[in-house]
Amino acid sequence: MSTKTEVNKKLMKHNKQLENRGRLLVKCPDKPGIVSVLSTFLHSHNSNIMESSQYSSDPENGTFFIRIEYHSDGLLEKSEQMEKDFEKIATNHSMEYEFAYPNERKRSAIFVSKEPHCLMELLWEWQNGDLDTDIVVAISNHEDARPIVEALGIPFHYIPANKDIRKQVEAEQIRLMDEYEVDLLILARYMQILTPDFVNHFERRVINIHHSFLPAFIGAGPYERAFERGVKLIGATSHYVTNNLDEGPIIEQDVERVDHRDDVIELKKIGRQIERRVLARAVKWHLENRIIVEGNKTIVFH
């Protein structure tokens, strides 16, 4: 395994390469000329478009979504002026927009309970340089994952949790998120229900993995219920957390075929593999600013 120092050295080199790269995400009423307006703006600031993906919900009176990744020499010095210049364009075209800069790495916290498979997948992706974030802390209501996390030099905080002390627990968790300046919370099989106060504090900043193909088998025990129902497909769903249990905007899903020979133990084994890859993909896409939330749905530019 790579040490934390080795990972940090790779990150410094990687961040230097990204200093002149930016991303622009836009949502606005669809009409002719939007792409031209955006490309003209970037051209006027000597920016070269590297990648562009777009989608219209309806070419007649629909909503237009676009993600543009661009390169611009001296972006660190001129990004503030670019954003200021864009404000008039956004107003004229009723745009909701976001500028993002890959060199400004987000800081992530991983919440985990007893099952470590999703945690380990995220840590592997991070060590391998494929998860563009700084994992700055892990939180758990069990001690099981401590050796895995601390072996990589990541702080681990054990906070026992149950419904009777939930308010105190979440107050401490929020304090830690502030202390570590966390941008993204990843629930890697953290088996506790979050209160509305906590969710509202981190709106659209909490990504969960649910061990079923939502909207099927919402809540606890989905593999047991899937077995009882005799399903032929099982899946996993990664979504943003809202105050409606397991009903937040879906980011990614995947499935595997099963049959009557697979008992609950086998279903869980297959399911863990799905959960790992689904959560990792969802987190990557969030970190790469590939997601635009529209109501309770997402537009994901792969």
Q: Which residues are catalytic?
A: 246
Closest CA to 302 of 126, 291, 293, 294: 291
CA–CA dist 153, 168 (Å, integer): 27
Buried b (16+ CB within 10 A) or exposed e, 86-114: beeeeeebebebeebbbeebbebbbbbbe
Contacts of 54 (CB under 8 A, 6+ apart): 35, 64, 65, 66, 67
Chain-centre distance of CA 38, in angstroms?
26
10 Å CB burial of residue 181 (0-12, 13-18, 19+) is exposed
Reading the block at residue 251, the tokens are: 């980011």
Note the residue count of the chain.
Answer: 302
The identity of residue 209, as a single letter, is I
